[in-house]
Amino acid sequence: MLPAHRVVVAAFPGVELLNVTGPSEVFSMATRIAGTGRPGYTVRVATAQGEPVATSGGIRLMADLTLDEVDGNVDTLLVSGAVRVRDHDVEPVLDHGIIDWLREVAPRTRRLGSVCSGAHLLAAAGLLDGLSATTHWRTAPRLAADHPLVTVDPDPIFIREGRLWTCAGIASGMDMALAMVTEDHGPGLALATARTMVMYVKRAGGQSQFSVPLAPPAAPGDRLDDLRVWIGEHLTEDLSAEVLAARLHLSVRHFSRLFRQRTGTTPAAYVESVRLEAARRLLQDSAHGLSEIADLSGLGSVETLHRAFRRRLNTTPAEYRRRFR
């Protein structure tokens, strides 16, 4: 019998409980379903001194080992994030002990992943430089601002870049873990695991973690937020950076820099996200053909519609309609 995959989940005070237990339960369930004769998973929770930690909800989480006891090679290392809420704003907690430890353990880890704002810890350790990554949409602008070498996409529920995986957090950590089971053991075991856990059988990594039009409402008098609302109401018009900058009486360069600082993405990427969200809703809620949907969403052509779905959601419009309508 082959040895079990060794999974270590790093935790520290303030983590969301489901960020740790959700992926762990997926690996545990896959092991039970696989049965004897097949390599499953051993999951261990590591904290700085092996101490119990209080999660964000106040429930205490027991640890199996200290960070220093994570010796030898690790198959899968997951780091969970924690956030602080200050004046209705959310900021990631940067545990520098975890960050230093990640730099040390990363070279001997086959697969690294972050859950929720754990992406900020991977980025602070320099492990996401030059890669695309996601995190919870509420901290994505901060991740983009703090780490300009990381291409932050706040939309997908998870992103894989080689051996690096990042996800939106909370429930999406389970989707990421299920995708890892698929990679390790094939779709059969992943399907059985999802069915047993009453999960969506395969929530594609490209599925949006939130709806663009449902982003927080514009703050009174905030011109950039007013522009964001205006974009959603004028999808079929010219929404180039030049046109948008002109509406705010700014140079294109200054507007683009300001927009990225505020939203964590470029004007073009944001416009495509809003148009893609409109197309998704039309596919789910209407009987319009693809050509009509391309026109109504502002994407213009069926070819552009297909390209956007392939690039951003890793699926086709027809497959998306079949799956989510």
CATH number of the domain residue 162 falls in: 3.40.50.880
Give the per-residue pLDDT at 122: 97
Query: Do 227 and 187 fall within a single domain?
Result: no
Q: Quote the tokens at residue 199.
A: 């999960």
Structural element, H or E, at residue 8: strand 5-10
Are 190 and 217 in the same domain?
no
What is the reported pLDDT for 213? 44
Looking at the 3D structure of the chain, how many domains does it have? 2
**Does residue 265 surpass a pLDDT of 90?**
no
Give the model's pLDDT for residue 207. Answer: 53
Determine the structural domain holding residue 184 and report its residue range: 5-196
Measured distance between the N- and C-terminal CA atoms of the chain, rounded to whole angstroms: 43
Mean model confidence pLDDT for the chain: 88
Q: How confident is the model at residue 192 (pLDDT cuts 50, 70, 90)?
A: confident
Same domain? For 169 and 222 the reply is no
Band (pLDDT 50/70/90 cuts) for residue 2 is low
Report yes or no on 201 lying in a domain. no
- Note whether residue 204 is domain-resident: no
C-alpha to C-alpha distance for 263 and 253, rounded to whole angstroms:
15
CATH code at position 266: 1.10.10.60
- Do 102 and 232 fall into the same domain? no
**Cβ count within 10 A of residue 94:** 15
Residues 21 and 60 in one domain: yes
Which pLDDT tens digit goes with each residue over 234-249?
999 999 999 999 999 9
Residue 202 lies in a domain: no
The confidence score (pLDDT) of residue 3 equals 74
Q: Among 145, 164, 196, which residue terminates a domain? A: 196
Q: Is residue 206 part of a domain?
A: no
For the entire predicted model, the pTM comes to 0.67
Assess if residue 259 is contained within a domain: yes
17 within some domain: yes
Whether 10 and 86 map to the same domain: the answer is yes
**186 or 77, which is more confident?**
77
Q: Is there a single domain that holds both residue 174 and residue 137? A: yes
Q: Are residues 165 and 218 in the same domain?
A: no
Query: Both 230 and 184 in a single domain?
Result: no
pLDDT at 320 over 80: yes
Nearest to 193 by CA among 40, 30, 36, 37: 30
Task: Let me know whether 30 and 165 are in one domain.
Answer: yes
